[in-house]
């Protein structure tokens, strides 16, 4: 489990496709404190560490994950939002994020508003009903509050700190991001489907 609070921005330094994809990421994390088998959210996708060394770790990305996320578009040099798994007793500053991406959202527009950026996204139709004004979403692993929703489109504000501490300072119209809907919304919808609410 994760919180959607990005704690490092890594960089893809090597890619080895072989059915699956093996990716090496440079990181500011103290890799001596990371175990093989640990989970790290990379652009919001929970991945398992399969190798590591001083200042880097490697993950293996399955073909299924590549087909359902933006990770198939990774290239050497790409910056990546990183978050280590939540430990008991850690501060829950964002919201509960599983790292199981539900789909990919398109960036429709990016508009400066003061020092912030207002970003409009379009979600896949089958996920749009799970996104509500003032609710939470995880986009490229970042816990964000939804400002407004109209059909499959929804907007968020990115304050200067978020732009500086994550990859969001690079957001552009036409981009694509990993989308994970709020777990609570998923269970409420399931209960309603079965007449439990």
Helix (H, G, I), strand (E, B) or coil at 24: strand
Which residue from 163, 160, 173, 114 is spatially nearest to 142, judged by alpha carbons?
Answer: 163
Which DSSP letter does residue 125 get?
Answer: H
What does the pLDDT profile of the chain (197 residues) look like in tens digits? 899 999 999 999 999 997 799 999 999 999 999 999 999 999 999 999 999 999 999 999 999 999 999 999 999 999 999 999 987 767 777 788 999 999 999 999 999 999 999 999 999 999 999 999 999 999 999 999 999 999 999 999 999 999 999 999 999 999 999 999 987 777 677 667 777 54
pTM for this predicted structure = 0.92
The count of other CB atoms within 10 Å of the CB of residue 119 is 24
Q: What is the helix (H) or strand (E) element at residue 187, kind and residue range?
A: helix 183-193
Residue ranges and CATH numbers for the domains of the chain are 8-84 (2.40.30.20), 103-193 (2.40.30.20)
Helix or strand or coil: residue 168? helix
CB atoms within 10 A of CB 17: 12
């Amino acid at each position: 489990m994760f919180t959607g609070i990005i704690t490092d921005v890594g960089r893809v330094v090597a890619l080895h496709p072989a059915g699956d994809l093996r990716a090496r990421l440079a990181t500011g994390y103290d890799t001596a404190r990371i175990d093989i088998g640990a989970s790290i959210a990379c652009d919001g996708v929970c991945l398992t560490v399969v190798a590591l060394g001083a200042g880097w770790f490697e993950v293996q990305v399955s073909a299924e994950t590549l087909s359902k996320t933006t990770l198939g578009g990774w290239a050497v040099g790409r910056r990546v939002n990183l978050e280590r798994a939540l430990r008991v007793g850690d501060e829950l500053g964002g919201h509960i994020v599983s790292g199981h991406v539900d789909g990919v959202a398109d960036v429709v527009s990016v508009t400066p508003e003061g020092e912030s950026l207002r970003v409009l996204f379009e979600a896949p139709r089958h996920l749009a009903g799970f996104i509500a004004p003032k609710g939470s979403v995880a986009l490229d692993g970042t816990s964000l509050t939804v400002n407004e929703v109209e059909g499959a489109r929804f907007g968020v504000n990115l304050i200067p700190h978020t732009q500086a501490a994550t990859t969001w300072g690079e957001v552009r119209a036409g981009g694509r991001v990993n989308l994970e809907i709020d777990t609570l919304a998923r269970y409420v919808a399931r209960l309603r489907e079965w007449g439990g609410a």
